[in-house]
Amino acid sequence: MSNALIVHGGAPTAVINASLYGAVTEARKHPEIEHFYAAIGGSGAVLKEHFLDLFTAPKEELELLLHTPGSAIGTSRDPLETEDYDQMARVIARHNIRYVFFTGGNGSMDTCGKVYQACCRAGVDVNVVGIPKTIDNDISVTDHAPGFASAARYIAETTAEISQDVRGLPIHVCVIEAMGRNAGWIAAASALARSGDGDGPDLIYLPEVPFDEDAFLTEVERLHREKGGVVVVASEGLRKADGEPIVEPIFQVGRAVYYGDVSAHLANLVIRKLGIKARSEKPGIAGRASAAYQSRLDRDEAVEAGSTAVRAAVEGKNGVMVGFRRLPGEEYRAETILIPIEEVMLHERTMPREFIAENGHDVTQAFIDWCRPLLGEPVRRYVTFKNRPLSVD
């Protein structure tokens, strides 16, 4: 008998714990796994050997993982050097760990791949498998990653609610800031808020398209003249044509860049240069921590990603990440696949051109059709009588 180890890396999501649940429950089915260790606190916890055997957790607590946001075992963005990976290989061997799982995005898959390589160098007999996780949906090869759909549903539902508020009192421009450093998937998903009745978002700005301040102000002024209230969704990673961010980064730690408020910057531009009342909304981490807006499909696929990873490792697969491949047909169906870890290590997937509208500040129907089923449930619809013809009996 041997042991297994799971590690969470990077920012958590609304369903990362669902993948943890899938991995633990699947591992219980395999008698060759004696202990299922969780690194308590991310990759640095492996070096410190801060492990908890999840086989000792009560069943009722494990069930709560399905609806618990954040990371129940902690996570981190620990900077690691070559000697750290070599030390991880020694720790893995010392604890008789035969199966290792890393749950995370691009950076965590890079860590996963380097741990795999370190174990190969050290001759440690271990199977290393990655479990995808990211709200940004920027992992290569896989159709989408667990975590994105719940973040997409959150931004769509939030935008729909804000749009309804603005329609009721159409006196200002509201700028909603969406997460997504270099990829506009989350901002784009706000388009699912539209009911077809003239509600927002009116403008969507993605980091894949260079931001033109003058064009932005022209569009806002036109829409404000036509509608009164305007709803704008802007990605936190907007850049100008020269590649510089529209708001200077406050500071950077490794790959993590911390920007000033893009939404506040754009709202201030509207106030100062157009003389129009404007306000900014920045849901921030609320968009990745919302269990209330968790997509059922996202949760189910997160569970499947965890259980598939364990089955793959027990079957002898090594140096791979679980991914999803969408199947053809009118109804949404997807299957899990195994992707060589080298193909996803720090490879960033941005919005393809066919998903971005020609005007550069909206999305196409192709994106809507791709994204809609991932939300799991339709975005809630609202009623407004404001624009209907008046009638008196």
pLDDT in tens, 339-386: 999 999 888 899 999 999 999 999 999 999 999 999 998 899 898 887
What pLDDT does 253 receive? 66
Q: How far apart are CA 223 and CA 221, in angstroms?
A: 6
> Alpha carbon of 3 to those of 31, 49, 59, 71, 75: distances in Å?
10, 14, 20, 22, 21
C-alpha to C-alpha distance for 135 and 12, rounded to whole angstroms: 8
Residue spans per domain, the chain:
2-146+292-343, 155-287+350-375
Render pLDDT for 69-104 as a digit per residue (tens, 0 to 9).
Answer: 999 999 998 889 999 999 999 999 999 999 999 999
173: its two tokens: 């421009």
Beta bridge partners of 320: 129, 340
Q: What is the pTM of this model?
A: 0.94
- 136 annotated ligand-binding residue: yes
Decide: residue 166, CB within 10 A, 0-12 exposed, 13-18 middle, 19+ buried: buried
Q: Using CA atoms, how far apart are residues 236 and 266, in angstroms rounded to an integer? A: 11
Percent pLDDT > 90 in the chain is: 85
- Residue 251: what pLDDT? 74
What number does CATH give the domain 2-146+292-343? 3.40.50.450
- 155-287+350-375 classified as CATH 3.40.50.460: yes
> How much is the average pLDDT of 264-276?
98
User: Measured between alpha carbons, how far is 381 from 194 in angstroms, rounded to an integer?
Assistant: 9
Question: According to the annotation, is 106 in a ligand binding site?
Answer: yes
Nearest-angstrom CA–CA distance, 207 and 351: 9
388 burial (CB, 10 Å; 0-12 / 13-18 / 19+) is exposed
Do the domains 155-287+350-375 and 2-146+292-343 match in fold?
Answer: yes
Site of tokens 């959150």: 154
Q: List active site positions.
A: 136
275-332 pLDDT tens trace: 999 999 999 899 988 999 999 999 999 999 999 999 999 999 999 999 999 999 989 9
Q: Any known ligand binding at 236?
A: yes
Quote the distance between the C-alpha of residue 351 and its chain's center.
Answer: 14
Q: Report the pLDDT averaged over residues 198-225.
A: 96
The answer on whether 1 is annotated among ligand-binding residues is no
**Is 123 annotated as ligand-binding?**
no
